[in-house]
Amino acid sequence: MENQSIIVRRLTNDDLNDIASLLKEFYPEWSMDYCRSWWDNKYNKNPYGEPMNYGAYIDGILVGVECCMPIEYVNGDKSVIMLISCDSKVRKAYRGKGIWSKVVRYCMENVFTTSDYPLILGFPNYRNSYPGYQKMKWQTIDQMHNYVMVNSAEKFSKAFGGKKTIKRLIGRMLVLQRTLISLTNTSSFEIAPCSNSELLWDDTDERIHLAHGDAMLDWKRLYKDIKTVSIKCNGRQVASCIYSFGEFEDELICKIEKFVTDGSSLKRKRQAFSAMLKYLKKNVPEAAFVRIWTMKNTEVEQLCKECLMMKSSHPNPFIIKQRSNEYDNSKWNLSFLDLD
């Protein structure tokens, strides 16, 4: 390995078979055709612009990637197209050799010298990649908190190593959650699939948010199993939700991507959120757990606490790497998005 040369370059469609082969190592249940289709839909058909994907080759083998796709972020009445770091992977046999840092450094340099994207955002793993990003001077501006509702104690324990302490915690949490859901009056709520145009987008609690327009949701449906539902009470819509499916340690999980409520009271919002959790437990029984990410001190985090969801001990940092100090602002209100 020490004598092998590492070639780092930008990836193109000509590398699709190499990319599919790398994905296959991480997702062995995926076929090569599905790997190619998933990648093509996620990156090449992104409605917001050109992706910036990079790979490291050793002896003709793609051994690591750092991939960024454009996304629209909104702050008040202003928006900006920026990049978000999505797929960062190194083959198991090549880890611990400095490959990941080489690819990330090349990505940072190339993005800011060959494109107009002002920022790269990321939500790295707290234990694994976050220390590496810190060494490369990425700026930490906030934290994403991870809350989960256990659907299957057996599958959840398996996904997290089956430790006895976790099993006991799960047992207590399941009792609390079932008690809360049973005591929360959700009988008057109706939850049903809806179209994009029926979704609520009252983001007053989110100081910045992903712009989930029709183009966004139609695109995400190409490579994800996205569901959109409305929550009504006495015939009036009080909330809406977007959720999808993924995997964690070979176990299926359900991910709440967005939960938005109208201007109802906190009690009504909690009832709507509880009704949504109850709906997911009934309709996605094969999922090990239901997960939602939320920024700290937001209304959604309050709802997670109200409904006794389990909180991860390690939040995911929200980090950025910027082109220059032109956008420098470490506050979560992200006033660097001021486009005037």
Residue boundaries of the structural domains of the chain: 7-122, 145-316
CATH superfamily of 7-122: Gcn5-related N-acetyltransferase (GNAT) (3.40.630.30)
DSSP conformational letter for 138: P
Residue 172 has pLDDT above 60, yes or no: yes
pLDDT number for residue 183: 62
Percentage above 90 pLDDT, the chain: 38
Round to whole Å and give the CA distance between 140 and 16. Answer: 33
* Band (126; pLDDT cuts 50, 70, 90): confident
Nearest to residue 273, comparing CAs of 241, 297, 244? 241
Main-chain dihedrals φ then ψ at residue 268, nearest 5 degrees: -65, -40
**How many CB atoms neighbour CB 120 within 10 A?**
23
Name which residue leads in pLDDT, 338 or 45: 45
The answer to whether 7-122 and 145-316 have equal CATH topology is yes
pLDDT number for residue 81: 87
Q: Residue 87 in 3-state DSSP?
A: strand
Residue 328 has pLDDT above 60, yes or no: no
pLDDT number for residue 84: 92
Cβ neighbours for 91, distance < 8 A, ≥ 6 positions apart? 22, 25, 61, 63, 64
* Band (182; pLDDT cuts 50, 70, 90): low
Token readout for 68 is 């960024």
Tell me the CA distances in angstroms from 132 to 24, 26, 101, 178, 205, one per residue in order: 25, 21, 7, 40, 31
Name which residue leads in pLDDT, 245 or 1: 245
Pick the range with the lowest mean pLDDT from 259-263, 275-279, 309-313: 309-313
Residue 76 has pLDDT above 70, yes or no: no
pTM: 0.81
Q: Write out pLDDT tens, residues 132-162.
A: 999 998 988 778 888 988 887 777 777 766 6
Residue 205 has pLDDT above 50, yes or no: no
What is the CATH number that goes with domain 145-316?
3.40.630.30
Percentage above 70 pLDDT, the chain: 82
